[in-house]
Structure 1
Amino acid sequence: MSIAPNAPPSDASDLAALIESGRRVLRIETQALDALQARIGPEFAQACRLLLACRGRVVCTGMGKSGHIATKIAATLASTGTPAFFLHPGEASHGDLGMVTDADVVLALSNSGESEELLTIVPALKRLGNVMIAMTGRPNSGLARHADVHLDVSVPEEACPLGLAPTSSTTAALAMGDALAVALLEARGFTAEDFARSHPAGTLGRRLLLHIGDVMHAGTDVPRVSPDATASEALVEMSRKRLGMTAVVDAEDRLLGIFTDGDLRRALDDEQTDLRSTPVQRLMTRSPKTIGPQQLAVEAAHLMEAHKINALVVVDEAQRVVGALNIHDLLRARVV
């Protein structure tokens, strides 16, 4: 016999109870973080010094929910200038301990401080000579006693009404991990450019790492004509290369001007202009906006926006044309 699922609450009192339950959880976890703030003291500073002095990586480890938090802390450390990885303590005692070197610092998480899997590998880590930082909710626990530095992340109560599911305690541990990562970031002088290097696929990475030379059209893909070419020949070149403009260059490929869709429209408005016979140099835009191949792609986006243009010619220091790009190239590169 199938059992129908409970119907969702519908009356106002049931809805109010759900809302209050959610708010109560946030109140309890906020109180836990307020209590944690007072414990950022000498032990925290010592933990930071040990991590800054680490010649290897930070090995973050923990079982269960503490393991999930340790995984996130490792990811945050790694992305903010402190090489780190997660080590599963259960797998560590079956061979994965070989990933740890004597140059590494161990950051061990356990709310009880008595996680059997962690305590099993502590003697091996001690024999290896690893510095250990413990993050627990019990300063007198076995893990805390074995650690070189203990960070107290105890909480007044769990948000779970049964007092069983890790809620406030995992929030406190995660916040302490963030505090460590940010303190180390600031101590190292970690910059936005440093952050971008470890996030090349992210928006910030693309904006800070992608250069014009990475996205521009080069070689025979760059539209270019001589100043003596007719406007109709320039139009053919524009259509063939599909950038909405063509560079006008001298015999040494130095930029003299550009002929754009806008220049074409203005020429068509003039009934005296014969596109088949008029030299493009008479219709081109002189002294156009240009950019260098080593500049950031995001600078091209700013330049296009500021001057209400859709394409740029890329030139070297001698004003020789080396490339071209338009707004669609920046969109494809997800710079804008």
Structure 2
Amino acid sequence: MPDFDYTASARRTIALERDAVDSLLTRLEGHFDTACATLIQCPGRIVVTGMGKSGHIGRKIAATLASTGSPAFFVHPGEASHGDMGMITAQDVVIALSNSGNTAEVVTLLPLIKRLGIPLISITGNPDSTLARAAVANLHTGVEQEACPLNLAPTSSTTTALVMGDALAIALLEARGFSAEDFAFSHPGGSLGRRLLLLVDDIMHSGEQMPLVSPETPLRDALLEMTRKGLGLTGVTDGRGALAGIFTDGDLRRTLDQEIDIREARIEQVMTPRCKTVRRGVLAAEALKVMEDSKISGLFVVDESGLPVGALNMHDLLRAGVV
């Protein structure tokens, strides 16, 4: 079909779905508040169910709720009729999706939900349907026209249902005071989780891996220590073991520019005193900010007494996924 205008088709689809989403703004009064209040007061879990395309949308809504502070899971209505109703308890709330509001597999569950005595929230395209009438709150997501030119394939209607589910999840998130740290605990494997949960203690080099020398150490020996430990730096400790300074690859370049004899110089003559450090137990993201703000590529981790307990550089943060 070389003459078909694909872009025009896409514009039509996007416009229809945009208009369908816009129509939701006029349907929030009353029922949406009731739905949110019911969900936030739920002592158990939010159980989401739906058949076919509504089921696919329901799975995503359940996943969004669960990752934003509202414990939720999806139950297939067909499986619920064959044993999975046992997953639903008297402490739960059910969200049921059906564009028609009369999907047989979902409607079959209504007597069982009623027998458990738990609230039902429906997301339907028909506010006069069986499912809508049985719910304590019905969220009307009906559309005048599907994006499908045959007006058959669920397109605009699934989009509005998904948006309504997102609206529920975000309203609950804000009401709960759900924070970025809370989100990170739900996503420990993601980049945000690594940034917000990883401590310097988890990635620093400690013990024998720490490059440390005393102030009177010859510069050439300090360079050997830097080479052995491979961090591009070495710490210089005073008589009580506290960090008196640091010497880095950058300091070496500056030392060479000053034409200092590296065979005769002692490390205390060329080190950088009062170096940047971070305390043990801080987030790795905080160490990254110190490095970025100070334009350095490595630093030491100290304890409450100022004694060095570890060292890390930008490569460690990169490997840990913090950068």
Residue 239 of structure 2 is aligned to residue 223 of structure 1: no
* Counterpart pick for 2:40 among 26, 32, 52: 52
Determine the C-alpha separation between the residues in 2 that align with 1:129 and 1:150: 17
Structure 1 counterpart of 2:320? 333
If the length of structure 2 is used for normalisation, what is the TM-score? 0.96
Structure 1 counterpart of 2:98? 110
* Counterpart pick for 1:321 among 288, 308, 315: 308
Q: Cα deviations across residues 133-180 of structure 1 (Å, max 9, x unaligned)?
A: 011111121111221221111111111111110011101101110111
Deviation of 1:203 after TM superposition, in Å, equals 2.1
1:86 partner letter:
F
Determine the C-alpha separation between the residues in 2 that align with 1:144 and 1:47: 13
Deviates more, 1:259-268 or 1:181-190: 259-268
Structure 2 counterpart of 1:24? 12
Deviation of 1:272 after TM superposition, in Å, equals 4.9
* Counterpart pick for 1:197 among 185, 190, 196: 185
Deviation of 1:100 after TM superposition, in Å, equals 1.0
Structure 2 counterpart of 1:34? 22
Residue 256 of structure 2 is aligned to residue 268 of structure 1: yes
For structure 2, the 5+ residue unaligned runs are: none
2:268 partner letter:
Q
Q: Cα deviations across residues 199-248 of structure 1 (Å, max 9, x unaligned)?
A: 12222222222221122111111111111221111111111110001111
1:127 partner letter:
R
Give the 5 Å matches for 1:39-118. 39-118=27-106
If the length of structure 1 is used for normalisation, what is the TM-score? 0.92
Determine the C-alpha separation between the residues in 1 that align with 2:257 and 2:12: 70
* Counterpart pick for 2:128 among 140, 161, 165: 140
Runs of 4+ in 1 over 4 A off after TM superposition: none
Determine the C-alpha separation between the residues in 2 that align with 1:263 and 1:35: 64
Q: Cα deviations across residues 12-34 of structure 1 (Å, max 9, x unaligned)?
A: xx33xx22221111121112112
2:273 partner letter:
R
Deviation of 1:320 after TM superposition, in Å, equals 0.2
Q: Cα deviations across residues 104-156 of structure 1 (Å, max 9, x unaligned)?
A: 10000000111111112221121112211011111121111221221111111
Residue 275 of structure 2 is aligned to residue 309 of structure 1: no
Determine the C-alpha separation between the residues in 1 that align with 2:26 and 2:137: 17
Structure 1 counterpart of 2:268? 281
Cα 1:62–1:274 shift into 2, 3 Å:
closer
* Counterpart pick for 1:164 among 129, 147, 152: 152
Determine the C-alpha separation between the residues in 2 that align with 1:196 and 1:271: 50
1:238 partner letter:
M
Structure 2 counterpart of 1:206? 194
1:89 partner letter:
P
Deviates more, 1:131-140 or 1:249-258: 249-258
Determine the C-alpha separation between the residues in 2 that align with 1:272 and 1:104: 74
Determine the C-alpha separation between the residues in 2 that align with 1:137 and 1:305: 52
1:284 partner letter:
M
Determine the C-alpha separation between the residues in 2 that align with 1:274 and 1:150: 79
Determine the C-alpha separation between the residues in 1 that align with 2:276 and 2:165: 48
| RMSD of Structure 2 on Structure 1 (CA) | 1.4
Deviation of 1:62 after TM superposition, in Å, equals 0.2
* Counterpart pick for 1:292 among 279, 283, 286: 279
**Equivalences, count:** 323
2:286 partner letter:
E
For structure 1, the 5+ residue unaligned runs are: 1-7
* Counterpart pick for 1:239 among 188, 204, 227: 227
State the identity as a percent.
58
Q: Cα deviations across residues 30-72 of structure 1 (Å, max 9, x unaligned)?
A: 1211211100111100000000100111101000000000001
